[in-house]
Amino acid sequence: MKSLNNYICTTSVCLMLVGCAGQSPHLTEPVVQVQRVEVPVVRPCPTLSSVGHPPKLPDTNSALQSAPNIAERVKLLMAGRALRDGWMSNADQAITTCSRP
């Protein structure tokens, strides 16, 4: 009895698989679409390299502490600010030039 059940189960499974294999859906060729995706590319900016490193500023902590009086400290601070402002102005111009498309 057990072998008959196995035979019936095996035969049923085989018949189901054969029945499924005969029913293939209508297959169509895949549609190939070419899409263009534009990605921004980082390019080096030659004007940024012309700015260079920040200048050595005269208004360091050690220079300010070693100044003999307040007038000398103010001179150091003003000179440092003038150098810093000039360098920052050049850096801002270079960044603006490089950021243009």
Per residue in 66-87, pLDDT (tens digit) is: 999 999 999 999 999 999 999 9
Residue 63 falls within a domain, yes or no? yes
In this structure, is residue 40 part of a structural domain? no
Whether 70 is covered by a domain: the verdict is yes
Model pTM score: 0.51
Closest to 49 (Cα-Cα) out of 95, 3, 85, 99: 95
Q: What domain range is 84 assigned to?
A: 45-101
| DSSP letter, residue 59 | -
Q: Tell me the CA end-to-end span of the chain in Å, nearest whole number.
A: 84
| 84 inside domain | yes
Between these two residues, 70 and 55, which has the higher pLDDT value?
Answer: 70
Residue 77 to residue 65: CA distance in whole angstroms: 12
SS3 51: helix
Domain tally, the chain: 1
22 occurs within a structural domain: no
Predicted confidence band of residue 52 (pLDDT cuts 50, 70, 90): confident
**88 within domain boundaries:** yes
73/81 Cα distance (integer angstroms): 12
Q: Is residue 16 part of a domain?
A: no
CB 88 within 8 A of CB 55: no
Please name the amino acid found at residue 67.
A
